[in-house]
């Protein structure tokens, strides 16, 4: 039987043990389509906690953690294991490789960055011509992936092959109240989901989906949701904070989220209109538990909720994200408080979840 | 005392004047439910908010048919209220910025407002981020709306005699047609599921889950389509007043040719005017139904409509009444797909 933590006194903290797990997750190379490294960590962490664990056809890890109460709601909580990065597409010899970008990376982020390639994290660099040799005109243009190469040096030959994935080579660092890492999107979600399974409330059946290929179009979540057939869907992700002051002094009206403002609850993105009942449930929970929270400004983009809510005959769904500056770059930045409050909010909300929330259709 | 029900045209006016952008269909759903409950054998709302009414039960030689008319409309969602009370917004569905300036909006909570725009530079395009809603508030504290509040365009129904104009003929006219068909159709061999679908304008989302739940053998969307009959407009065969249109294709799906033939044969049998619709860009619930589960033969009954996605969408009275006749005829008899 699965181990039980004392779930009534769940108060998330980021101690040494927790930080070590988060660092392992964030420093893994787990680009869409090859999520093996994070998958292995998830399976290892949850071995003793799940009622049923399954790796499905696409590589999603589906963990079922059953509660004890009668009339439990089946809640799917999703966090994606993949991250944006690179794929090696051609070996040009001498340790020089052509590559392509997997997922959304601004080409201006590429040139001159150290990278890790493959499951062995072979170190390399995305090379660019030195400033000594460029013209002022060249320096106004962002170099695109086909103008750039990944260089691991001749010594690395044989360790890297076509099809290998790579990421920026940034190790997680704690900067006072903040954390800096390359893959907070969505290792924070993965970390939080691991903690939720370990501390699962007994009034719900927690259907934890550690999904693949989110960055390529919410692909893993689609089949995960079909398999789980949940009654409620929650996606845990990370969303940009564009919260620095405007250069012209006008009020910043498009910050998306603000660092330090607490978990960001979604109303609308490009893939989902958040279920109004669930939004209210999260807001009520945050208010009651005195957890700071914010709405993510309605906008574009998408989370796994975009796939979950359209599954079978429909699943009321909502997303919650940890606000992050500099998303999809070599170094994103989050506040530790936002991360812990996100975990606390979802956990508290789950403990209050019962089917009556879903009976409010005509009044929402 | 027997409940008194509305006529087709009273329903049209009620529906088009009710706000209900995608995701906020609760008020319009309630109004439709009250009107149709007495005529259906079973009415339910699914997880996403689709209103699903069944009439008749499957008998030998019959089919389970899903009719889908979406009850959401395009609208706006507030993203930020600034210190002076101006609200920024994000479009819900395909808002044409050209129709925004000076527009009036009605929020789900009853607040009204007008749309203004920042001063544009020479040759600068009006994009949604340049617009704001002025609700008459003088500060953020004073504003009756906040982030996440939703509004639709605010225009009264306009009866021009033969032609009728409203802000959300797309797709409330089809909802009214489906309601009328639901009332009139006699129970035969077919099991009819009238779906009043949600979230069509953001990607046919309601129809995706409704079709999975209903699991139909034949699907018919009812929606508006563009016309080619306005000055210097797009070249297209469909014209207002030339009869309901039978969709052959749009950019979301190719209607099942057997469904097209079935519709044409019924129009001919009833001697109703009809026109064939080949639409370059646009999508309807038909596409969602077609790709449900292991696939469903699906088509679309289209109502010609000018100025789609503007606050003044125009349809023809005869087209609407003929669409009801065509739909009722299709649903009452055994379906012949060949």
Which residues of chain A make contact with B216, given a CB cutoff of 8 A? none
Averages of pLDDT over runs of 10 residues in chain B (338 residues) are 79 95 96 96 96 97 98 97 97 93 95 96 92 97 97 95 96 98 97 98 98 98 97 93 98 97 98 97 96 98 96 97 98 94
Interface test with B, best of A282, A361, A363, A364 (most B CBs within 10 A): A361
Which residues of chain A make contact with B78, given a CB cutoff of 8 A? 298
**Could you tell me which of B70, B69, B89, B71 has the C-alpha nearest to residue B79?**
B89
Those residues of chain A whose CB sits closer than 8 Å to some CB in chain B are 231, 251, 253-254, 267-268, 273-274, 276, 279, 295, 297-299, 309-316, 358, 361-364
**Residue A363, pLDDT score:** 46
* CA–CA distance, A41 with A44 (Å, rounded to integer): 5
Interface test with A, best of B90, B150, B289 (most A CBs within 10 A): B90
Which residues of chain A make contact with B89, given a CB cutoff of 8 A? 298
> What are B199-217's pLDDT values in tens digits?
999 999 999 999 999 999 9
**Residue B224, pLDDT score:** 98
**Residue A1, pLDDT score:** 42
**Residue A9, pLDDT score:** 66
Interface test with B, best of A268, A270, A296, A308 (most B CBs within 10 A): A268
Strand A149-151, strand A122-127: pairing = antiparallel
* CA–CA distance, A164 with A29 (Å, rounded to integer): 10
Contact yes or no for A362 and B30 at CB 8 A: yes
Instruction: Return the number of other C-beta atoms located less than 10 Å from residue B316's C-beta.
Output: 22
From A187's Cα to the closest Cα of chain B, the distance in A is 27
Sign of the dihedral defined by the CA atoms of residues A135, A138, A143, A149, in that order: negative
**Residue A361, pLDDT score:** 59
Q: Does B85 touch chain A (CB under 8 A)?
A: no
Q: Does B26 touch chain A (CB under 8 A)?
A: yes
**Residue B214, pLDDT score:** 98
From B238's Cα to the closest Cα of chain A, the distance in A is 32
**Residue A158, pLDDT score:** 83
From A167's Cα to the closest Cα of chain B, the distance in A is 33
> What are B273-285's pLDDT values in tens digits?
999 999 999 999 9
For chain A, list residues with pLDDT below 70: 1-9, 157, 360-364
B8-73+167-332: CATH homologous superfamily? Answer: Zn peptidases (3.40.630.10)
Q: Does B231 touch chain A (CB under 8 A)?
A: no
Residue of A267, A273, A311 lying closest to B199 (CB–CB): A273
* CA–CA distance, B4 with B9 (Å, rounded to integer): 15
Domain range annotation of chain B: 8-73+167-332, 75-153
By C-alpha distance, the chain B residue nearest A300 is: B90
Contact yes or no for A298 and B210 at CB 8 A: no
Contact yes or no for B45 and A362 at CB 8 A: yes
**Could you tell me which of B206, B111, B224, B181 has the C-alpha nearest to residue B325?**
B181
- Judge if pTM exceeds 0.90: yes
Residue of B48, B50, B78 lying closest to A309 (CB–CB): B48
Q: Which CATH architecture has domain B75-153?
A: Beta Barrel (2.40)
Angle at Cα A315 formed by Cα A311 and Cα A261, nearest 5°? 115
Give the H/E segment covering residue A345.
Answer: helix A336-351
- Catalytic-residue membership of B280: no
A85-168: CATH homologous superfamily? Answer: Peptidase M42, domain 2 (2.40.30.40)
Largest CA distance in chain B: 67
Domain range annotation of chain A: 7-83+182-363, 85-168
**Residue A8, pLDDT score:** 57
The answer to ipTM > 0.90 is yes
Q: Does B202 touch chain A (CB under 8 A)?
A: yes
3-state secondary structure string, chain B? CCCCCCCHHHHHHHHHCCCCECCCCHHHHHHHHHHHHHHCCEEEECCCCCEEEEECCCCCCCCEEEEEEECCECEEEEEEECCCCEEEEEEECCCCHHHCCCCEEEECCCCEEEEEECCCCCCCCCCHHHEEEECCCCCCCCCCCCCCCEEEECCCCEECCCEEEECCHHHHHHHHHHHHHHHHCCCCCCEEEEEEECCCCCCCHHHHHHHHHHCCCEEEEEEEECCCCCCCCCCCCCCCCCCCEEEEECCCCECCHHHHHHHHHHHHHCCCCCEEEECCCCCCHHHHHHCCCCCCCEEEEEEECECCCCCCEEEEHHHHHHHHHHHHHHHHCCCCCC
**Residue A57, pLDDT score:** 97
Contact yes or no for A298 and B208 at CB 8 A: no
CA-CA-CA-CA dihedral for B292, B295, B299, B300, to nearest 10: 0
The values of phi and psi at residue B257, to 5°, are -60, -30
In words, the CATH class of domain A7-83+182-363 is: alpha beta
Contact yes or no for B80 and A254 at CB 8 A: yes
The answer to whether the CB of A184 falls within 8 A of the CB of A334 is yes
């Amino acid at each position: 039987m699965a181990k039980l933590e004392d779930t009534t006194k769940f108060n998330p903290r980021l101690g040494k043990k927790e930080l070590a797990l988060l660092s392992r997750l964030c420093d893994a190379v787990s680009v869409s389509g090859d999520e093996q490294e994070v998958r292995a960590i998830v399976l290892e962490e949850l071995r003793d906690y799940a009622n049923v664990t399954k790796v499905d056809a696409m590589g999603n890890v589906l963990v079922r953690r059953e509660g004890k109460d009668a009339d439990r709601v089946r809640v799917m909580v999703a966090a994606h294991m993949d991250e944006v990065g690179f794929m090696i597409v051609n070996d040009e010899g001498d340790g020089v490789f052509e590559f392509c970008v997997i997922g959304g990376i601004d080409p201006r982020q590429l040139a001159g960055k150290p990278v890790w390639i493959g499951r062995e994290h072979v170190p390399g660099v995305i090379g660019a011509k030195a400033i000594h040799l460029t013209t002022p005109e060249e320096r106004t243009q962002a170099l695109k992936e086909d103008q750039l190469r990944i260089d691991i040096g001749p010594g690395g030959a044989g360790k890297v092959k076509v099809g290998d994935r790579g990421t920026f080579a940034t190790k997680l660092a704690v900067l006072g109240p903040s954390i800096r890492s390359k893959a907070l999107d969505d290792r924070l979600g993965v970390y939080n989901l691991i903690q939720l399974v370990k501390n699962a409330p007994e009034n719900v059946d927690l259907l934890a989906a550690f999904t693949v290929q989110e960055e390529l179009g919410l692909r893993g979540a689609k089949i995960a949701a079909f398999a789980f057939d949940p009654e409620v869907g929650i996606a845990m992700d990370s969303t940009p904070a564009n919260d620095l002051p405007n250069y012209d002094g006008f009020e910043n009206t498009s910050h998306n989220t603000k660092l330090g403002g607490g978990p960001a609850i979604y109303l609308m993105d490009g893939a989902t209109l958040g279920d109004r009942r669930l939004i209210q449930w999260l807001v009520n929970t945050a208010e009651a538990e005195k957890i700071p929270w914010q709405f993510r400004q309605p906008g574009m983009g998408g989370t796994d909720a975009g796939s979950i809510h359209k599954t079978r005959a429909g699943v009321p769904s909502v997303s919650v994200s940890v606000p992050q500056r500099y998303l999809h770059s070599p170094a994103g930045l989050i506040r530790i408080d936002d991360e812990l409050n996100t975990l606390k909010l979802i956990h508290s909300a789950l403990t209050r979840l019962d089917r009556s929330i879903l009976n409010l259709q005509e009044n929402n | 005392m027997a409940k008194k029900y509305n006529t087709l045209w009273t329903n049209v006016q009620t529906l088009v004047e009710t706000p209900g952008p995608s995701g906020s269909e609760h008020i319009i759903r309630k109004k439709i439910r009250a009107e149709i409950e007495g005529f259906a054998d079973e009415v339910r709302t699914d997880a996403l908010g689709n209103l699903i009414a069944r009439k008749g039960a499957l008998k030998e030689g019959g089919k389970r048919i899903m009719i889908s008319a979406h009850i959401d409309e395009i609208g706006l969602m507030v993203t930020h209220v600034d210190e002076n009370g101006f609200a920024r917004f994000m479009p819900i569905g395909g808002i044409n910025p050209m129709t925004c300036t000076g527009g009036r909006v009605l929020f789900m909570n009853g607040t009204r407002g007008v749309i203004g725009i920042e001063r544009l530079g020479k040759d600068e395009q009006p994009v949604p981020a340049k617009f704001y809603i002025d609700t008459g508030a003088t500060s953020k504290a004073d504003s009756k709306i906040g982030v996440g509040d939703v509004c639709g365009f605010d225009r009264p129904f306009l009866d021009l005699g033969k032609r009728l104009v409203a802000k959300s003929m797309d797709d409330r006219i089809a909802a009214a047609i489906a309601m009328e068909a639901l009332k009139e159709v006699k129970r035969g061999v077919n099991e009819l599921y009238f779906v009043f679908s949600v979230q069509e304008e953001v990607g046919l989302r309601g129809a995706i889950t409704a079709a999975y739940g209903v699991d139909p053998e034949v699907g018919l969307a009812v929606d508006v389509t563009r016309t080619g009959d306005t000055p210097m407009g797009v070249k297209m065969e469909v014209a207002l007043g030339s009869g309901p249109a039978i969709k052959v294709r749009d950019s979301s799906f190719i209607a099942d040719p057997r469904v097209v033939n079935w519709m044409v044969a019924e129009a001919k049998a009833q001697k109703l005017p009809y026109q064939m619709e080949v639409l370059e860009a646009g999508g309807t619930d038909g596409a969602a139904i077609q790709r449900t589960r292991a696939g469903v033969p699906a088509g679309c009954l289209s109502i010609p409509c000018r100025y789609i996605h503007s606050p003044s969408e125009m349809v023809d009275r005869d087209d609407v009444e003929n669409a009801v006749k065509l739909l009722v005829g299709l649903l009452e008899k055994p379906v012949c797909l060949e």
